[in-house]
Amino acid sequence: MTVVSRGYVDEDFRSVVRFLCETFWKTGSFQNWFPDRFENSLVGCGCASQTGDIRVWEEIRDMSARQTRGIVALANPESP
């Protein structure tokens, strides 16, 4: 298994929601962000983009074809 990290892009939204749902069903608790944190990430407060610090880690099955198996982790930092 190869895991790679990259920045979040708007097209990741459906995969992120799927990941959040799967982890909820596995843990039975709300230890992740709610999907709306990602849904409006490009609109936010009128800034051009608020997604610069969001990171996505994906499992890659075939590095030559960059075929992903799915998201294995997310990081969505907040200011203190």
What are the angstrom distances between the C-alpha of 37 and each of 4, 21, 24, 61, 68? 22, 14, 16, 28, 23
The residue ranges of every structural domain in the chain are 2-75
**pLDDT of 1 above 80:** no
Distance between CA atoms of residues 62 and 66, nearest Å: 6
Distance between CA atoms of residues 38 and 56, nearest Å: 12
Distance between CA atoms of residues 63 and 65, nearest Å: 5
**pLDDT of 23 above 90:** no
Residues 29-65 pLDDT 10s: 777 777 777 766 555 454 434 556 889 999 887 766 6
Q: What is the pLDDT of residue 31?
A: 76
Q: What is the pLDDT of residue 51?
A: 59
Q: What is the pLDDT of residue 64?
A: 67
